[in-house]
Amino acid sequence: MNRKHKLGEYSIYKFLTEYKNLYIPCYQREYAWGTEQVLAYLDDIYKEINQDPSLGIIHVYENEDEKNEIIDGQQRVTTTLLVLLCYSEKSDESDEISKEIKKILFDKNQKFKALEAFSENLKEDYQNVFESGNWPNRNSNLYEAYNLISHLFNGENKKINITNN
């Protein structure tokens, strides 16, 4: 097996559709971004909204099990998944973008496709979040990020200016 490191700048769509068997190894930290980092990342996406928004530089390592381990970029990938989840939750069922997002995120049984990406220590929390909306730990950064993004989609955070203007 020829294992290899892959380092590059990926558009959100390209990364999520081309990389199969994503895996966040157990040595990676839990989701750690706070409000400031989430808003800065959303601002970057917003600035590229008419292009193909970028995840930035992502470092992936193809391991011996042919899983693509995310070495660098886990926080951005997870935040992107939260954005897509919130968008699909807030959109009308007939929304074509929402339909495409759901194809990327969920299988035909509405199971979160990327669940296998998370190591055992993260899998249960992510399964609860992405499949059922159940938050086992409402004090977590993951919950705070989801809540912030969800409120932005609802237009509830009028004071938050993601464009920093």
pLDDT tens, position by position, 62-110: 888 877 888 898 899 889 888 888 888 777 777 787 777 777 776 666 6
User: Residue 24: which of 106, 85, 114 has the closest Cα?
Assistant: 114
DSSP single-letter state for residue 123: H
User: What does the alpha-carbon distance between residue 7 and residue 156 come to, in Å, rounded to a whole number?
Assistant: 37
Does residue 165 form part of some domain? no
Does residue 70 form part of some domain? yes
Does residue 136 form part of some domain? yes
Residue 120 domain boundaries? 4-154
Does residue 160 form part of some domain? no
How many domains does the chain contain in total? 1
Does residue 159 form part of some domain? no
Q: Per the confidence metrics, is the pTM higher than 0.75? A: yes
Does residue 139 form part of some domain? yes
Question: What does the DSSP assignment read for 37-83?
Answer: HHHHHHHHHHHTTTS--EEEEEEEEE-TTS-EEEEE-HHHHHHHHHH
Residue 121, pLDDT score: 55
Does residue 11 form part of some domain? yes
Max CA-CA distance within the chain?
52
Q: Which residue has the higher pLDDT, 46 or 93?
A: 46
User: Residue 68: which of 59, 76, 77 has the closest Cα?
Assistant: 59
Cβ contact 82:146 at 8 Å:
yes
Does residue 107 form part of some domain? yes
Cβ contact 87:151 at 8 Å:
no
Residue range 25-48: average pLDDT? 88
DSSP single-letter state for residue 159: T
Q: CB within 8 A of 138, min separation 6: which ones?
A: none
Sign of the CA dihedral 76, 97, 152, 144?
negative
